[in-house]
Amino acid sequence: MEPTTADAQLQERERIERRLYALGLASVIAASFFTSLAGIFVRLTEDAEGFTLLFYRSLAFVLFMAVFLGFRYRGRTADAFRAIGWPGLVVALALGIAFMSFILALMETSVARVVFIGGTSPFVAAALAWLVLRERLGPTTLLAMVGALLGISIMVGEGLAEGSMLGLLLAFIPVLGYAVTLVCFRVKKGEDMLPAVFLAGVVAMVASAILAPTLAISANDLLMAILLGVVQLGFQYVLITYGVRRVPAAEVALLGRLQLVLGPFWVWIGVGEVPTVATLLGGGIILGVVLLHSLVMLRRGT
């Protein structure tokens, strides 16, 4: 029996949804690539103070986003900002604070602690998405999240014992801010939320300008700040805001763990900082879990 017109239309919609979901996954994975470049750019920085570097990174990010949004919307830029609504204002505050607290956490505690706590972001995003949006967390994604957390714990190992309680609390703020951002993106998934990300950059820029002891910076460090703001941060959020409109928040946060695998690799290639066996083992687990999860979800078309 040949399919009816209604059946054919349904099949066509399902094909389109699968295609959009695949594009969303690809965008989030690509965003993880750009996110992972932070370590190598920071390693190539010579002597800039943390908040000074953060100010110029935020400035470069804001200018990049202003040009991008201006080119995309031309005379409709003001309409794009109005369309983000109250979720966009929440993103501006939550993400702006996350940008800042991440740097503060690195100043107060070990990188290992920050990485491990950052690994909880899929769980926090999933819980918040369920509370606010009732997005269900499937068993495949839950198992993948547990596997990724196992890989992260192997990677950071002994470094968990280092640092202060203040650093521990500061490291959790970016996790919460990122989760709030993803859920707000899902709330307004019919709208482009890049204007909200632009406003987050403004928040971080103003705050870092106030906190920076000096705005003097060398040419090399200014270049690193520009790369951090445009390539690492700008490209990352252009891709994430596209992908999260088509992929559930928990999966976006899970795929973002790929940066933990790629980050040490770039530092190894760029400045010869050889990763430990634990880093390679944990990274391999994360990579395998994320890739397996992506393949399963693509086969399901969800």
Contact by Cβ (8 Å): 30, 252:
no
Residue 259 lies in a domain: yes
What is the full DSSP assignment across 107-157? HHS-HHHHHHHHTTHHHHHHHHHHHHH-----HHHHHHHHHHHHHHHHHHG
Taking the C-alpha atoms of residue 198 and residue 62, their distance in angstroms, rounded to an integer, is: 6
Residue 265 lies in a domain: yes
Instruction: State the residue range of the domain holding 104.
Output: 28-300
**Which residue in 251, 236, 218 sits closest to 98, CA to CA?**
236
Residue type for 138, please? G
Domain count, the chain: 1
Could you report the per-residue pLDDT of 7-37, keeping only the tens digit for each? 667 777 777 777 777 788 788 888 888 877 8
Could you tell me the pTM of the whole model? Answer: 0.76
pLDDT per residue of the chain (302 residues) written in tens, 0 to 9: 555 676 667 777 777 777 777 788 788 888 888 877 877 787 788 888 888 989 999 999 999 999 999 988 888 889 999 999 899 999 999 999 988 887 777 666 655 566 666 666 767 777 787 788 776 767 777 777 777 778 777 766 655 555 566 766 777 888 889 889 888 888 887 788 889 999 999 999 999 999 999 999 999 999 999 999 999 889 988 888 888 777 776 677 667 666 666 766 776 776 666 667 776 777 677 777 766 776 676 566 55
Residue 63 lies in a domain: yes
Residue 95 lies in a domain: yes
Task: Name the region of 240 (left: φ>0; alpha: ψ -120 to 50; beta: rest).
Answer: alpha
**Between the CA of residue 296 and those of 141, 236, 293, what are the distances in Å?**
10, 24, 5
Residue 104 lies in a domain: yes
Residue 5 lies in a domain: no
